[in-house]
Chain A
Amino acid sequence: MQTDTTMASPAERSRRIRSNRLLTWSRRLLRSKTGTVGFILVLAVLFLAAFADVLATHNPNEVNPALMLKPPAWLEGGSSQHLLGTDHLGRDIWSRMVYGSRISLLVGVTAVVFAGLIGVAVGIVAGFYGGWLDRVFMRLVDAFLSIPNILLALVILSVFGPGVWTLIFVLGVTNWVNYARLVRGEVLSMKEREFVKAARAIGVKNRMVMVRHLLPNVMSPFIVISTLSVATTIILEASLSFLGLGIQPPDISWGGILSDGRDYVATSWWLATFPGIAITLTVLGIIFLGDWLRDVLDPRGQNRR
């Protein structure tokens, strides 16, 4: 890992370090099978989302009553025109899924980041300062936990009206409590560790103690929970779409396609199956990648992996 960098000029040295780093990271990624699989899956979904315009074969919202419920291309009655078949309105499922990846990813990831930001901030502050601040925040968390997520989401969505950003807001608001509790717990045990005391003993400001010494140390459980959370968020988005309060047409999400297909599961399984598989693979990919990230971000694990 360490090459002779002592003689090189600073610019040369930093260039070498950078290319070295890329190499080390890719080597580390390849060493973990699940990490590689996760990386490929996530990359694939990102690719779909980025090149939806090119990859889609049809206009995803184009209704064609003549081609209702066509099976996938490789089945009897399918046509090469519609690779994954068509839905009850004759829309091309492949194209809908390709476009749907955009919103599903956007909602899943943004909502988790949003919830994570609130939750981590609240958790660190509550855990670090303790006292009344902690009590107020934690009672707030309890209050949130006592309301069923879906009910809270329904109330907010019916007040503000459905839409992508409202949905992200709702999912964030219902989820932050999990992070807050987790992070607070970690901080409580972490702040008794001597390096936190030592940091204060060398005159580090409270704010810096939180940002520099506590935050990085709570990141690994956070990454694990948040990757799992992207999964549940995508699914929660699907259930809200199913209830008619999620993504509204003409916007498309995987959850929306899935719930559209619900009525036809018995006769035309492909309507619900393909978005279901897409959600599963994406979630799996994110979890694998998250797991690997947690391992490599912890310097203690570097020699093992």
Chain B
Amino acid sequence: MKKDTLLSVSELKTYFFMESGAVPSVHGVSFEVKQGETVAIVGESGCGKSVTSLSIMGLVSSPGKIVGGDIRFHGQDLTTISEKEYRKLRGNDLSMIFQEPLTSLNPLFTIGSQLDEVILLHQQVTKEEARQKGIEMLKKVGIPRAEQVYRSYPHQLSGGMRQRVMIAMALACEPKLLIADEPTTALDVTIQAQILQLMRKLVKDNNTAIMLITHDLGVVAEMADTVIVMYAGQVVEQADVFTLFAAPAHPYTQGLLASTPKIQTIEEELQSIEGTVPTQETMPKGCRFFPRCPHASEQCVQNQPSLLKIGGGQLVRCWLFDAKEAASG
């Protein structure tokens, strides 16, 4: 059964215009999210994951700007709609959960009034109905004593509780797409598992698609259907979750997987990828990963590889595969 495409991002370019010049934070990123599907975007800090998600939400703020490409949501190009139309989408069809549950709630208002805000903004309901709905949402995300929490201030709740509240807010209007920017990074491991489980359940119930931004491959393995690996503002590999973990194609993906501790191979020393993500000044002319790549060749230094299909829906941006294909074909 083929599911309908919900979100399609093509050749998205988001640049930050600094005094020293334009910094291409997202440089030609394309991908699709189907209805009810969970797509994980992984990569190191600074590789453009968060900027991609903010671009989709239309929340890139100055000096950042979307300079090219389009974002189609339900066939509607989000890069061309007005701010007013965007506001109608945000919180309604498009929702986002941020990394820091501790600062994502306004410290001066009760949980209830913040929950009501999003409901009243997008639904034609009375205050009392909004309150009912708010409490119902809190119960849905597994918060005990929902009525009491509804009246509490953010500082009275723990981090895990606050993240549940954020999820309740994000899902209050039954969005079609939920963007979760490192939703569990700030939480401890047991709470992480609970939050992930909760997200998975809610998503299944409502057929909501998730775009999960993370650098935690454990979370990816648990949640994702499709994985997109980003490096220095580009997609370097895309595959379904089983393929990616079983047969990572791009050296960067292999590096990421090798740098994740595995319980079976406890005696082995943990691998790390040498070096850091290049900055604007040090951005290589050829493949962006070659300075850190164990397989780098002359070709990698000179020319940038393009994103290649290597079968089974797997895409990879690496000369190794181009060479192989050329040899076999």
Name A's B-contacting residues (CB within 8 A): 130-131, 193-195, 197-205, 212-213, 216-217, 298-300, 302
- Per a CB cutoff under 8 Å, which of B103, B117, B118 touches A193? B103
Complex interface: chain B residues within 8 A of A302 (CB): 153
Question: Is B121 an interface residue when CB atoms closer than 8 A count as contact?
Answer: yes
Known A-B contacts A202-B90, A203-B88, A299-B153; A195 and B118 likewise in contact (beta carbons under 8 Å): no
Question: Is B226 an interface residue when CB atoms closer than 8 A count as contact?
Answer: no
Q: Is the CB–CB distance between A201 and B87 below 8 Å?
A: no
Question: Is B89 an interface residue when CB atoms closer than 8 A count as contact?
Answer: yes
B153 to chain A, nearest CB (A): 4
Question: Is B166 an interface residue when CB atoms closer than 8 A count as contact?
Answer: yes
Known A-B contacts A194-B100, A213-B106, A217-B108; A203 and B62 likewise in contact (beta carbons under 8 Å): no
- Per a CB cutoff under 8 Å, which of A197, A203, A213, A216 touches B98? A197
Q: Is the CB–CB distance between B87 and A205 below 8 Å?
A: yes
Complex interface: chain B residues within 8 A of A193 (CB): 103
Q: Is the CB–CB distance between A199 and B95 below 8 Å?
A: no
- Per a CB cutoff under 8 Å, which of A130, A194, A202 touches B62? A130
Q: Is the CB–CB distance between B98 and A199 below 8 Å?
A: no
Q: Is the CB–CB distance between A198 and B88 below 8 Å?
A: no
Known A-B contacts A216-B108, A217-B107; A300 and B153 likewise in contact (beta carbons under 8 Å): yes
Q: Is the CB–CB distance between B59 and A195 below 8 Å?
A: no
Which residue of chain B lies nearest to A206 when distances are taken between CB atoms in the complex? Answer: B83
Name B's A-contacting residues (CB within 8 A): 57, 59, 62, 86-92, 95-96, 98-100, 103-109, 117-118, 121-122, 153, 155, 166, 169-170
Q: Is the CB–CB distance between B105 and A195 below 8 Å?
A: yes
A-B contact pairs, 7 of them (CB 8 A): A194-B99, A197-B98, A198-B169, A203-B86, A203-B121, A216-B106, A298-B108
Determine the distance from Cα of A193 to Cα of B108 in the docked complex, in whole angstroms. Answer: 13
Residue among A193, A201, A298, A300 with max Cβ neighbours from chain B (10 Å): A201
Complex interface: chain A residues within 8 A of B91 (CB): 201-204
- Per a CB cutoff under 8 Å, which of A195, A203, A212, A216 touches B89? A203
Complex interface: chain A residues within 8 A of B121 (CB): 202-204
Determine the distance from Cα of A201 to Cα of B117 in the docked complex, in whole angstroms. Answer: 12
Determine the distance from Cα of A198 to Cα of B104 in the docked complex, in whole angstroms. Answer: 6
Sort A-B residue pairs by CB-CB distance and give the 6 closest, nearest first.
A202-B91, A203-B90, A203-B91, A201-B96, A194-B104, A202-B118
Q: Is the CB–CB distance between A194 and B108 below 8 Å?
A: no
Q: Is the CB–CB distance between B89 and A217 below 8 Å?
A: no
Add 8 more A-B contacts to A194-B103, A201-B98, A217-B108 (CB < 8 A): A130-B62, A194-B104, A198-B169, A203-B87, A203-B121, A216-B109, A300-B107, A300-B153
B23 to chain A, nearest CB (A): 18
Determine the distance from Cα of A302 to Cα of B104 in the docked complex, in whole angstroms. Answer: 21
Determine the distance from Cα of A197 to Cα of B169 in the docked complex, in whole angstroms. Answer: 14
Which residue of chain A lies nearest to B152 when distances are taken between CB atoms in the complex? Answer: A299
Complex interface: chain B residues within 8 A of A195 (CB): 103-107
Q: Is the CB–CB distance between A198 and B105 below 8 Å?
A: yes
Q: Is the CB–CB distance between A201 and B59 below 8 Å?
A: yes
A132 to chain B, nearest CB (A): 11
B64 to chain A, nearest CB (A): 12
Q: Is the CB–CB distance between B95 and A201 below 8 Å?
A: yes
Q: Is the CB–CB distance between B106 and A217 below 8 Å?
A: yes
Determine the distance from Cα of A213 to Cα of B107 in the docked complex, in whole angstroms. Answer: 9
Complex interface: chain B residues within 8 A of A131 (CB): 62
Q: Is the CB–CB distance between A198 and B117 below 8 Å?
A: no
Residue among A199, A202, A299 with max Cβ neighbours from chain B (10 Å): A202
Determine the distance from Cα of A286 to Cα of B87 in the docked complex, in whole angstroms. Answer: 43
Complex interface: chain B residues within 8 A of A212 (CB): 117
A92 to chain B, nearest CB (A): 49
Complex interface: chain B residues within 8 A of A298 (CB): 108
B101 to chain A, nearest CB (A): 9
Q: Is the CB–CB distance between B100 and A299 below 8 Å?
A: no
Determine the distance from Cα of A235 to Cα of B109 in the docked complex, in whole angstroms. Answer: 37
Known A-B contacts A130-B62, A131-B62, A194-B98; A199 and B153 likewise in contact (beta carbons under 8 Å): no
Determine the distance from Cα of A300 to Cα of B117 in the docked complex, in whole angstroms. Answer: 21
Determine the distance from Cα of A130 to Cα of B64 in the docked complex, in whole angstroms. Answer: 13
Determine the distance from Cα of A299 to Cα of B106 in the docked complex, in whole angstroms. Answer: 11
Complex interface: chain A residues within 8 A of B109 (CB): 216
Which residue of chain B lies nearest to A191 when distances are taken between CB atoms in the complex? Answer: B61
Q: Is the CB–CB distance between B104 and A299 below 8 Å?
A: no
- Per a CB cutoff under 8 Å, which of B86, B108, B170 touches A299? B108
B126 to chain A, nearest CB (A): 13
Determine the distance from Cα of A212 to Cα of B100 in the docked complex, in whole angstroms. Answer: 20
